[in-house]
Amino acid sequence: MTKIRLGTRKSRLAMWQTEHVAAKLKKLDQTIEVEIVPIVTLGDRVTDKPLAELGGTAVFTKEIEAALLQNDCDIAVHSLKDLATVMPDGLIIGAYLPREDPRDVFVSKDGTSLQELPAGKVIGTSSLRRVSMVKHLRPDLTVVPLRGNVPTRLGAVGKEAKDAKPYSGEALDGTVMAAAGVKRLGYGKLVTDFLPPDVFLPAPGQGVIALQIRAQDDSAIAIAAQLNCARTKLAAVAERTFLNVMEGGCRLPIGAFSTFTDTTVDLSGIILSPDGRKTVKGHVEGTDPVTVGTQLAQDLLARGGKEILDAVRDSLPGSDK
pLDDT in tens, 56-111: 567 789 999 999 999 999 999 999 999 999 999 999 999 999 999 999 999 999 99
In a domain, 204, yes or no: no
**Is a pLDDT exceeding 60 seen at residue 318?**
no
Q: Are residues 87 and 113 in the same domain?
A: no
Q: Give the H/E segment covering residue 295.
A: helix 289-300
In a domain, 297, yes or no: yes
Q: How confident is the model at residue 320 (pLDDT cuts 50, 70, 90)?
A: very low
Note whether residue 317 is domain-resident. yes
Establish if 262 belongs to a structural domain. yes
Q: What is the pLDDT of residue 147?
A: 84
Q: What is the CATH number of the domain that holds 284?
A: 3.30.160.40
Given a contact cutoff of 8 angstroms between Cβ atoms, the answer to whether 85 and 205 are in contact is: no
Number of structural domains the chain divides into: 3
| 202 in any annotated domain | no
**pLDDT at 264 > cutoff 60:** yes
Q: Give tens-digit pLDDT for 288-308.
A: 999 999 999 999 999 999 999
| Whether residue 123 is found in the same domain as residue 183 | yes
Phi and psi at 12, nearest 5°, equal -60, -40
Task: Indicate whether 279 and 302 sit together in one domain.
Answer: yes
User: Is 203 domain-assigned?
Assistant: no
Under DSSP, the state recorded for 268 is E
pTM of the full structure? 0.92
More confident residue, 245 or 164: 245
Which of 111-115, 162-166, 311-315 has the highest mean predicted lDDT (pLDDT)? 111-115
231-242 mean pLDDT: 95
Q: Is residue 116 part of a domain?
A: yes
Q: How far is CA 215 from CA 70, 77, 81, 113, in A?
A: 13, 15, 20, 46
pLDDT in tens, 118-140: 999 999 998 899 999 999 999 99
CATH code (residue 5): 3.40.190.10
**Quick one: pLDDT band at residue 163, thresholds 50, 70, 90?**
confident
**62, 122: one domain:** no
Both 64 and 213 in one domain: the answer is yes
Residues 90 and 213 in one domain: yes
- Residue 74: inside a domain, yes or no? yes
Exposed/middle/buried for residue 307 (C-beta within 10 Å: 0-12, 13-18, 19+): middle
Shared domain for 81 and 222, answered yes or no, is yes
What residues are labeled active site? 82
Together in a domain, 87 and 219 = yes
Q: Which of 1-5, 10-14, 186-190, 270-274 has the lowest mean pLDDT?
A: 1-5
**Domain match, 264 and 319 both:** yes
Structural domain containing residue 176 = 104-195
